[in-house]
Structure formats: structure tokens, C-alpha cells
Amino acid sequence: GAVVSQHPSWVICKSGTSVKIECRSLDFQATTMFWYRQFPKQSLMLMATSNEGSKATYEQGVEKDKFLINHASLTLSTLTVTSAHPEDSSFYICSARFRPSGAETQYFGPGTRLLVL
């Protein structure tokens, strides 16, 4: 299957700082990537859809200025949590759209655990 990486896997930061998370498709090009947030023992919540070369589409209730998304190339999307606060502490997961022979699939990165002190 296709491989998606995420970096960093763990990050601890002080309140008020910004944190950037990278999502890369390693062996395929992804025009579309997705960012999710997952709270403990809960399902994944879609935050935004990241499209290469255009603005991201945010889900209702997700602050655009808080969670900045940039999809500058066909293999890289970044999520920047600006002015992080303790309530932003969570598990963030990205996925990349993969369509071998037209069959729709999404592959996920390993996730990033963010702890804001």
C-alpha cells in the first residue's frame, strides 16, 4: 500500500507558541490530503480538506486562523496550530487521497500527539 508519513510524532510546547505538523505522501502524489483530530476513545473528526495549489476547505466549527493549512506540493501538506492553548492538545492525523486505477482510497499517516502546557 501507499505510505504516508507525519512529522513530528510527538510535540510538547508552551501555551502561546505555534506548532507545525507535516504530512507527506512518500511514494505517490496526493492532490488532496485531509486533516483529522482524534480525542481519546473517540472517532476521527475531520478538520479540513487540503488541496494542492488552492485554499483548504474547513469543516464547520474549525477556526481557519487557528489551524493554518498549506498544501504547497503534490507530496506535502502542513498544519500549523497557531498560538496553541492547552485545549488544542490532541492527536492529529492526516490522510492522503490515493486513486490507483480510479479506485478511491485514503491512506493515513501515523499521527502527531500534541501536548500544550
Partner 1 sequence: AQTVTQSQPEMSVQEAETVTLSCTYDTSESDYYLFWYKQPPSRQMILVIRQEAYKQQNATENRFSVNFQKAAKSFSLKISDSQLGDAAMYFCAYLNNNAGNMLTFGGGTRLMVKP
CB 28 to partner 1: min, Å: 14
Peptide bond into 110 cis (omega under 30): no
If one asks whether residue 106 binds partner 1 (CB under 8 A), the answer comes out as yes
Distance CA 56, CA 31 (A): 12
Q: Which stretch binds partner 1 (CB under 8 A): 13-21, 22-30, 78-86, 96-104?
A: 96-104
If one asks whether residue 92 binds partner 1 (CB under 8 A), the answer comes out as no
Among residues 98, 94, 107, the alpha carbon closest in space to that of 7 is found at 94
Q: Please, which of residues 1-30 interact with partner 1 by CB under 8 A?
A: 1
Q: How far is CA 49 from CA 16, 26, 31, 80, in A?
A: 25, 19, 10, 14
Where do contacts with partner 1 occur on this chain (CB under 8 A)? 1, 32, 34, 38, 42-44, 46, 49, 57, 91, 93, 95, 97, 103-108, 110-111
